[in-house]
Amino acid sequence: MISRASSRAVQSIRRLVPSIESRSARILCNPSVGSAHPVSRCLSSEASSVTDSDVAAVRFSKALRSGSINEIFAILPYVPGNVVDINIMNMLNCCYKSSDILKLLDFFAQSKYYISSYAYECVIITAGRIGDSHLVTMLYEAAVKKNGQRMSLVDALLHAYRVCDAHQKVISFTYGLFSENSEITAIQYEDILRTLTTHPEYDSLCVHIVSKMKSQNRFLSLPVLSILLNALETRSPSLSVQLINQTRFQKGDKDLLNVILSREMTKCSEQQNPQGMLCLYCEMQKRGIAIDDSETSRLKRCIHTLMRSGYVFDVPKSDDVFTRLWSECWLEERESSPSNLEDYLDEMKHSERNRMIELAVLLRFIATHPAMQISVSTWKRIIDLQICLPSQDMLEILQWAEVSQSANCIHGVLLYTDEVFLKNHHRSRRGQVKVSQDREIGALVERLKKSYGSSNSLVAMYNAFSMLDRYLKSDLFLYLTYGMVESNPENGIAFLDDLVKEGKVKPTPELCQSIKRLLSERGKSKEEEAFSEKYKSFMA
């Protein structure tokens, strides 16, 4: 395997071979077999100008093409130094054992050849190809001792360590570079990561190395990114995201980035890695890359799986796509019990996400599950949220309600339409499309009312609940509560406790102080102390 460090040698060899072959065509007499001298002196009179070195060069070229290291060693003493120098990598490609490299270096030492830094790089890379990491280290140390620690030598060393998978030596050498605050090139980082990503136990170390890359403003190339992602598979999606972030993409590579992230999402989905898929989805959203229908379906299955395991989602509150999918999964997971809708409404009440989306999902869920019988109190809680849906969502929900043919669903949706949508939708800016949708909504509402009539009982119960709410929040109710405590402190306080526990009333500081003073006047110190402790948050 020829590395980047050997490219110059390859080019030199290509320039040299035609000249050698043209010389060999003029040679009339080949070297005789078994002659005392390795290079034959038998030349015809027409080729008398051809020297011994030319013949040696021709035989050397043939030995290189044959790939026999023994033939190379036999002819090497008679080959001119300049020919040896430009064929250094070709000779090393014929070495298949560490002993071949050592024998070649011994010949250079005895012949007093000058071994350049470039020659050392080639020898180090060859030792890596053979798989002798100890020899790689020894050659590198010799090269540094002779020529100093050059950047190209470090390139060759890390490349050789990667080829022979000397991961422990890579770690040791990398930490040495970090401790010395040495400059590390992008190519060197690539070799380090390519060595370590093949071993799962070094994933955390790779995260540290990528953070070092970021601090030194070094970036991966796209081909190396592909190699690293294939090596990681799906075992560390967070590391995959870091590698993607540390890759230099051009301005026109957004589609390519989309393909890479989509492929990683698919891999996580196929390998049953829901957390990894969610991590990659968040990265796509951060980069403003929309997901298609197939990816949306995969993501929804992923959310279902994580929700069943009790996973705590850490997705930005502003992510409307995730809000919709999470709401759908929450309702589908609890489909068997309509009473769980109350829990969903409690979640909505304190939600920091887009509540319009959460409500649209809830109403769509009710409309697509006609067998569920929703209580009037639940419909009232939905209406009391006073969240006005967009015209498009409202039209879709009415259409689903019509298809459901459920009187409970249709009457509830119509009540929401009258009490919230029709009273508030005019506040939003409406273009031509919205006006058209409003007309469709109006026609659909009229058709539903004509087909199913108006539910007087539902409206009457809703009005009764609304009146009760207003009463519970009125001063008259506070006076009544105080009167109950005054006539029967034990029962009066128990009644107030139940209302507060159910969230129906919020006692005012004045009411709490009045009850406390009443208990004090009655000499009920224990009851006064218990009441003060229980309602101290309302007295502030």
DSSP state of 199: S
Token pair of 259 as six digits: 């393909």
Q: What is the DSSP letter of 420?
A: I
In the structure encoding, which two tokens stand for residue 427, read together?
């506040």
pLDDT value of residue 470: 59
Whether residue 319 is contained in a domain is answered as: no
**pLDDT tens digits, residue range 189-204?**
999 999 999 999 999 9
Give the DSSP per-residue string, 215-256.
HTT--B-HHHHHHHHHHHTTS-HHHHHHHHHTB---GGGHHH
Supply the DSSP symbol for 205. H
Select from 163, 193, 215 the last residue of a domain: 163
Percent of the chain having pLDDT more than 90?
A: 28
pLDDT average, residue stretch 347-367? 90
| pLDDT, greater one: 188 or 53 | 188
Residue entry with tokens 């609304």: 466
DSSP state of 189: H
CA 13 to each of CA 92, 125, 153, 508: distance values in angstroms, whole numbers, following the listed order: 13, 18, 22, 95
DSSP reduced 3-state for 164: coil
Structural domain total, the chain? 2
Question: What is the model's pLDDT at position 483?
Answer: 67
For the segment 383-400, what is each residue's pLDDT rounded down to a tens digit? Answer: 888 888 888 898 899 898
Alpha-carbon distance 220 to 244, whole Å? 8
Cα dihedral across residues 73, 76, 81, 83: positive or negative: negative
Angle between helices 237-245 and 274-286 (to 10 degrees): 20
Q: Using pLDDT thresholds of 50, 70 and 90, give the confidence band for residue 251.
A: low
**CA dihedral sign, ordered 249, 251, 253, 254:** positive
At 154 the pLDDT is: 93
Range of the domain at 504: 473-539
DSSP 291: P
Final residue of a domain: which of 163, 182, 213?
163
User: What is the CA 166 to chain-centroid distance, rounded?
Assistant: 29
pLDDT band for 23, please (50, 70, 90 cuts): very low
In the predicted structure, residue 281 carries a pLDDT above the cut 50: yes
Whether residue 86 is predicted with pLDDT greater than 80 in this model: the reply is: yes
519: in domain: yes
DSSP 312: -
pLDDT of residue 153: 92
Tokens encoding 261: 């992230």
CB contact at 8 A, 113 and 147: no
pTM of the model: 0.68
Q: Which of 137, 163, 189 is the last residue of a domain?
A: 163
Alpha-carbon separation of residue 236 from 196, 261, 262 (angstroms): 13, 14, 16
In whole numbers, what is the pLDDT of the chain averaged over residues? Answer: 80
Residue where the block lists tokens 């996400």: 353
- Span 499-527, average pLDDT: 78
The residue type of 126 is: T
Q: Is the pLDDT of residue 273 over 80?
A: yes
pLDDT of residue 157: 94
Maximum distance among all Cα pairs of the chain, rounded to whole angstroms: 141
pLDDT at site 303: 93
Bridge partners of residue 247, in order along the sequence = 220
Q: How confident is the model at residue 66 (pLDDT cuts 50, 70, 90)?
A: confident
- Whether 516 is covered by a domain: the verdict is yes
Question: What are the two backbone dihedrals, phi and then psi, of residue 150, each rounded to the nearest 5 degrees?
Answer: -90, 155
Model confidence at 205, pLDDT cuts 50, 70, 90, reads: very high
Q: What is the pLDDT of residue 46?
A: 35
Predicted local distance difference test score (pLDDT) of residue 448: 80
Decide if pLDDT at 207 tops 70: yes
pLDDT at 14 over 70: no
The reply to whether 458 falls in a domain is no
pLDDT tens per residue across span 298-340? 999 999 999 988 888 989 889 999 999 999 999 988 765 667 7
How far apart, in whole angstroms, are the C-alpha atoms of residue 411 and residue 452? 8
- Alpha-carbon span 398 to 367, nearest angstrom: 8
Q: Are 40 and 29 in contact (CB under 8 A)?
A: yes
Q: Is 338 within a domain?
A: no
pLDDT confidence bin for 472, thresholds 50/70/90: low
Cβ atoms of 277 and 269 closer than 8 Å: yes
Q: What is the C-alpha R_g of the chain?
A: 41
- Check residue 21 and give its pLDDT: 37
C-alpha to C-alpha distance for 206 and 239, rounded to whole angstroms:
8
Tell me, what's the pLDDT at 490? 76
3-state secondary structure labels for all residues of 65-107:
HHCCHHHHHHHHHHCCHHHHHHCHHHHHCCCCCHHHHHHHHHH
Residue 438 in domain: no
Contact 257, 244 (CB under 8 A): yes
Residue with the bigger pLDDT between 25 and 537: it is: 537
In a domain? residue 321: no
- Reported as half-sphere exposure (CB side, CA atoms, 13 A), residue 391 has a value of 19
| Predicted confidence (pLDDT) per residue in 435-457, tens digit | 787 788 888 888 887 777 665 65
For residue 68, being part of any structural domain is answered with: yes
Residues contacting 178, CB < 8 A, separation 6+ = 212
